[in-house]
Structure formats: structure tokens, C-alpha cells
Amino acid sequence: MTQAPVEQKKTTAWQMYRAIVGIGAFCAILIVGVYMATAPQIKINQERFLASAVSEVLPAAVLTQAVALDDDGQLVVVEENADLPAFLGYDAEGNLVGAVMTSEAMGYQDIVRVLYAYTFENQAITGMKVLETKETPGLGDKVEKEPHFLANFEALDARPAADGSGLANEIVTVKQGEKTEPWQLDGITGATITSVAIGHILNISAQVWVPVLEREARAIPAPQPPAPLEPTEEE
């Protein structure tokens, strides 16, 4: 006896549309839920990483004060970090020792973001750390590892111009082994574009920040150190 063929129920366009919309809505809700659940911890981790980086490039700073430039280019204290945060650094006695700025520009493949320290005593950039880069591993990331390149930031001349319009000398990257001036970066052969980008980032940022810092930073009082935790009684 031959069995009658099973008639397959056709799916209408409306049913397919409803299913796709439903799946999309579920995925959207799931993504938003995961983001909301993890956002606070992500922010905490980012703040810890930034604080560690600031301490690394400006180890003399015990206390820091977040600052920014207002619409008139004046230095002001801020409560929350900007997208490219900046900080004034103070020693344990409340003396201003330097400042730390963040800046970024295009490298070979993507944006390179760096953190660098400026010290008032030397009028120089005395520390630099790459915060974010997607450069080719083994090439672009040499700026984070090459000893001769990192040596540039022991005292990279960033003296302000006499008229306060910018730097006395532009910070530029030269070919490896051809550095002759204290405001030049000794570049990296094989990672030329990235090392040139670092010089460009520092120059455009310091041209803006250094004159303002030299003119206004000393007028901003040091932040109060955090109060020590009170001892708790043992039960």
C-alpha cells in the first residue's frame, strides 16, 4: 500500500519576517544586558590601567589632578576624565612636578594612542607609554620595546617658545642613528611610519599643552590626599 505524500506547510514571508525580527530583538536585548552588567567593571579596569600608566611615565607624582582645556584654551580642573585625559602631578609635599597628557594620531594601520609626561624642571618629555595600537606585531609595536627608541624619552626637549605660542622647536622623528638635536626622536628602521607617528602625536599635543601648563598649572592648588582609613575594632 502506497503511503500518501506528506504535505509540507509553506512558511509565509510574514512568518519569516516575524522570526527574523524576534531573533534580532532578542540579540539586541542580550547585548545591551551584557554591556550594562559589565560596563562598571570595564570602567574600573580602565581607570586602574590609566592610573598605572600615569604612575609609570611620571613616577615622582604621588597625587594627581585631572585637568582639561576649556573653550578659551584655559586650564581648568575637571571631575571626570576626558576622552584624551590630562593630569597634573604632585609630590607628597604638594609640589607640582609635572603633567601627563594623552594624545593620538593615525599610524600605519590604525590610531595610535599614547600617554606622555612633561616635567617642569627639565622642560622636557620624560616618559611615554603606548596605550593603544593595532600596528603590525613585530614592526609597529617596536615603539614599545626598542631600547634606543625608548631612550628618546629620558629627556626629549619640549621647551616652550619665548612668546608662548608653542614649542621652541618642533618635535620630529629622524632616521635611526641621525639624531643630532635633543628635540628629535631617533626613529626605528622597519617601523618608520609608526615612529614618525609618535613624533607627530607628541608635537601636535605638546605645542598646545606645554605653553598653557607653563603659564597656568602652578596656579592650580594640589589636591588633598585621601583620608587614611580608620582602623576597625576586631570582634
Q: What is the pLDDT along the chain (235 residues), one digit of tens a residue?
A: 566 565 666 667 777 777 787 777 777 777 766 656 665 554 555 556 577 788 889 999 999 999 999 999 899 999 877 778 899 999 989 999 999 999 988 766 668 889 999 999 999 999 999 887 665 554 456 787 889 999 999 999 999 999 999 999 999 999 999 999 999 999 988 777 888 989 999 999 999 999 999 999 999 988 877 666 556 565 4
Q: Which of 212, 204, 121, 122 is nearest to 165 (CA)?
A: 212
In a domain, 99, yes or no: yes
Going by DSSP bridges, is the β-strand pair 172-174/184-186 parallel, antiparallel, or unpaired?
Answer: parallel
Picking from 176, 102, 178, 180, the residue whose alpha carbon sits closest to that of residue 142 is 176
Would you say residue 27 lies in a domain?
no
Within-domain flag for 2: no
Domain contains 45: no
- Cell 509553506 identifies what position? 10
Using CA atoms, how far residue 150 sits from 69, 117, 139, 146, in Å, is 28, 13, 15, 6
Structural domain that includes position 166: 58-219
- The answer as to whether 53 is a domain residue is no
Q: Which positions ≥6 away from 157 have C-beta within 8 Å?
A: 123, 124, 168, 169, 181, 182, 183
Residue 21 within any structural domain of the chain: no
Q: How far is CA 154 from the centre of its chain?
A: 20
What's the number of domains the chain is made of?
A: 1
- Residue 22 in any domain: the answer is no
How many angstroms separate the Cα of 147 from the Cα of each of 130, 150, 158? 14, 5, 21
Q: Is there a domain that residue 198 lies in?
A: yes
